[in-house]
Structure 1
Amino acid sequence: MPTVLAVIPARGGSKGVPGKNLAPVGGLPLVARAVRACREAALVTDVVVSTDDPAIADAARAAGAEVVLRPAAIAGDTATSEAAVLHAMDAHEERTGRRTDVVLLVQCTSPFITSEDVGGVAAAVVEDGADTAVTVAPFHGFVWRDAAEGIGAAAADATGGYGVNHDKAHRPRRQDRPQDLLETGAAYAMRAPGFREARHRFFGHTALVRTDPAKVLEIDEPDDLARARALAPLLDPAPAAEDTAGAPARPTRDDIDAVVLDFDGTQTDDTVLVDSEGRETVTVHRGDGLGIAALRDNGLPVLILSTETNPVVAARARKLKVPVLHGIDRKDLALKQWCEEQGIAPERVLYVGNDVNDLGCFGLVGWPTAVANAHDIVKDAARSVTATPGGSGAIREIASWILGPSLSRRELSQ
């Protein structure tokens, strides 16, 4: 069986999006998403992350990758991905004593890369005989270029914009045009000996591996990251309802460093009673209060985060002896800031929500959790879903996941 080494370059410096490779999308850092795709891909035998950053190295190891620390000479803004791959391949071969037959370059800046993408480029080389392979997606757009970018000012004034992949005087229908393919930037495969000789990724016969155009996104600017987080609940595969042992996916105390709770619809049944004076009242479940106390007593920070500015929320937080942030327009930004202030990694946070305004927070944390009566879109985006509806003891149920049945029963009975 050939040795197929996937190399993920992930340096610490990024001018466009600081800390980009650790930015969470769908609850996982970008580097961890890339590692997951590689580990699950057919034919890939080894996964290496090349980095100069200790935090990225820790995240890569936690995701199951080998780490090669990159020297400063190939870690700057002008360093090429090819240089990082060659260095990582040499280091991996020296460490393992095994020769690499096929090497992959996988970019963690493509957040929606799949194991099928990675396995597809590997198969094009290993099984189909190509020298190199690249992921591409169908592209039907007309590409334009400003003439001023390439010719003198006088000529540009006369020419203006011109078509790159078309004659602007002739606009054929899509079905009458040759099929253009867009390089996705996600995954590449190369025969290792040829790559060492050519020192670039497109030597010999290059196979084009088609991928889903809906998932083509490269994160180069902050707006790209925002789009990725908004799309993650729609494009990421639905979390498996059960693990390999047949039990529901549930976090334990080892998985969680903090619990953040929405209020309406999670600690209540989403019903509000309004009297003749306009005063609002809600009902809560005593078991939820006991569950929150048990979490707090076990050293887990608990925060209530709500868009509503309501004295009921503040009063409930005082009763539970937990901090509250309410009257928040952007819950995801408030949560991100709170995590930074507390020194808590978002991927170690369990967030409980029930409606679409919780999806932003779901995209930040490692354990997005929906209550049983949550909106269907929210349940689809969740990693875990309670069996209990909001307002009926769902938070107590979550406490029992985290603390364990025997411990939670003892503490909740006090």
Structure 2
Amino acid sequence: MSTGHVPRVLVVIPARGGSKGVPGKNVALVGGVPLVARAVRACLASGRVTDVVVSTDDASIAAAAAVAGADVIVRPAIIAGDSSASEAALMHALNRFEADRGVTVDVLVMVQCTSPFLTTSEVSGVVARVLDDGADTAHTVAPFHGFVWREGDSPAEAGEAGAQGVNHNKTYRLRRQDRPQEFVETGAAYAMRSAGFRKEGHRFFGRTVLVPTDPARVLEIDEPADLERAHALAPLVDGYDETCEEVVPMPAPTRADVDAVVIDFDGTQTDDRVWIDASGRETVAVHRGDGLGIAALRRAGLKVLILSTEKNPVVAARARKLDVPVIQGIDRKDFALKQWCEEQGVDPQRVLYAGNDVNDLPCFTLVGWPVAVADAQPEARAAARTTTTSNGGHGAVREIAAWLLGKELYKS
């Protein structure tokens, strides 16, 4: 690059809507954030990236990408099918971007949002190998030490020898420390000189450089089981980058995002403990600040509902004290919530639901703003869109009210 020239680095995130293995995959929530938004945020946080676009044929993906801060390029149906190559989407996005902006892209980066634990440093790393180290292409890989085997397509092809080693001789296997280091492609991030990509039409031309990453973060979501693993891992791996680059937190909602607040009781308005006296009567502790917050939400015109699986006089008494409706003693909280939204004329996507445990997960998938309290179960935190800093029963509901109302919270 010439002196003084600021390289144009365009990230393209291909995210079509027609996934059959995991329907709706690219907007599935991991750690409370749609997959496409996770990818966008990691790319926007990189100082080496100048532009981020999402190439999609799906309106819901486009909306999630735009909210996360990316530009959207509508992908034609002819290159959005199951058999369409990623390179076709890259070329279309590159051409559209340059034509619309009247600019020339120096480095093209492809990031796949099916890699949920992509880090900003990985994006910066592949770009650096092209811009700073002179590579034509670079992509993320993870160290690999496994023994790979291959079976013949038929017994006759396999012959008497049977299965054979691909990266080793089965009759004499070297120790791990004596074998050459091998790497497996992670599928997360690829960088390439745009001129070379135009000429060659694929992403592995010229001198290719590998960018090793942390194997613990490598996961590609291709099947439902992969998504379940991502849900389980999110609480463990989110919130840090191995190079200490800042991870952008998911912003809390504001009043402009929400029309109704639905609150679980046990573990959300309480600390999930119950005191039982000799007569079997139950007593719980609630937080006065939560009552203040709920009153402020009602004054601001938001609809408020308490939704609880158990039928308990304590829940009913608290609802009367707060002067809010309550639905309790139900098997399916999501069914009850959906019906309540229909009756109240509220769009579920504009509902904030606060919960703490696995029985709240169906409601999390129904609403636009699933929120977990700070000490919620890992499964709930992983599925939430954002999390309070306060524990259940210790002011979490008041914190939510402060998000939505700001200074309005303190007006009588």
TM-score band (shorter)? 0.7 to 0.9
Equivalent in the alignment of 1:23: 28
Q: What's the C-alpha RMSD, in Å, of the aligned pairs?
A: 3.7
> Which one of the candidate residues 351, 354, 366 is aligned to 1:351?
354
How far is the alpha carbon of 1:111 from its aligned partner? 0.6
1:11-65 C-alpha deviation (Å, 9 max, x unpaired)? 1111001111111111111111111111111311111111111221121111111
Say if 2:277 is the partner of 1:275: yes
Q: 1:394 to 1:185 in 2, by over 3 A?
A: closer
Mean alpha-carbon deviation: is it higher for 84-93 or for 286-295? 286-295
> Which one of the candidate residues 50, 56, 59 is aligned to 1:51?
56
Letter in structure 1 aligned against 2:19:
S
1:270-319 C-alpha deviation (Å, 9 max, x unpaired)? 44221223232223345534532443454545454556564534554566
Task: For 1:211 and 1:90, locate their aligned partners in 2 and report how far apart those are by CA, in whole Å.
Answer: 30
Equivalent in the alignment of 1:218: 220
Say if 2:124 is the partner of 1:122: no
TM-score by length of 2: 0.82
Equivalent in the alignment of 1:100: 105
TM-score by length of 1: 0.82
> Which one of the candidate residues 169, 172, 193 is aligned to 1:170?
172
Task: For 1:249 and 1:99, locate their aligned partners in 2 and report how far apart those are by CA, in whole Å.
Answer: 33
- Structure 2 unaligned regions, length at least 5: 1-5
* Helix, strand or coil at the partner of 1:187: strand
Say if 2:13 is the partner of 1:8: yes
* Helix, strand or coil at the partner of 1:196: helix
* Helix, strand or coil at the partner of 2:53: strand
Q: 1:251 to 1:76 in 2, by over 3 A?
A: closer
Contact 2:297 2:401 in 1 (8 A): yes
Q: What percentage of residue pairs aligned between the two structures are identical?
A: 60
* Helix, strand or coil at the partner of 1:404: helix
Task: For 2:46 and 2:340, locate their aligned partners in 1 and report how far apart those are by CA, in whole Å.
Answer: 33
Q: 1:3 to 1:256 in 2, by over 3 A?
A: same
Paired residues, what number?
A: 393
Say if 2:190 is the partner of 1:188: yes
Say if 2:373 is the partner of 1:370: yes
* Helix, strand or coil at the partner of 1:170: coil
Letter in structure 2 aligned against 1:186:
A
1:111-153 C-alpha deviation (Å, 9 max, x unpaired)? 1111111111111111110000110011122222232xx2x33
Contact 2:8 2:104 in 1 (8 A): yes
Equivalent in the alignment of 1:81: 86
Task: For 2:205 and 2:277, locate their aligned partners in 1 and report how far apart those are by CA, in whole Å.
Answer: 75
Contact 1:317 1:324 in 2 (8 A): no
How far is the alpha carbon of 1:230 from its aligned partner? 1.4
Task: For 1:321 and 1:59, locate their aligned partners in 2 and report how far apart those are by CA, in whole Å.
Answer: 32
How far is the alpha carbon of 1:94 from its aligned partner? 0.5
Equivalent in the alignment of 1:254: 256
Contact 2:401 2:409 in 1 (8 A): yes
1:45-99 C-alpha deviation (Å, 9 max, x unpaired)? 1111111112211211111111111111101111110000000000000010001
Equivalent in the alignment of 1:409: 410
Letter in structure 2 aligned against 1:178:
P
How far is the alpha carbon of 1:400 from its aligned partner? 3.0
Mean alpha-carbon deviation: is it higher for 34-43 or for 362-371? 362-371
1:233-274 C-alpha deviation (Å, 9 max, x unpaired)? 1111169xxxx9xxx975421244553434234312444221
Equivalent in the alignment of 1:229: 231
Contact 1:386 1:398 in 2 (8 A): no
Equivalent in the alignment of 1:61: 66
Equivalent in the alignment of 1:292: 294
* Helix, strand or coil at the partner of 2:348: coil
Task: For 2:336 and 2:51, locate their aligned partners in 1 and report how far apart those are by CA, in whole Å.
Answer: 36
Equivalent in the alignment of 1:144: 149
> Which one of the candidate residues 395, 399, 402 is aligned to 1:400?
402
Task: For 1:360 and 1:213, locate their aligned partners in 2 and report how far apart those are by CA, in whole Å.
Answer: 32
Task: For 2:376 and 2:62, locate their aligned partners in 1 and report how far apart those are by CA, in whole Å.
Answer: 37
Letter in structure 2 aligned against 1:221:
E
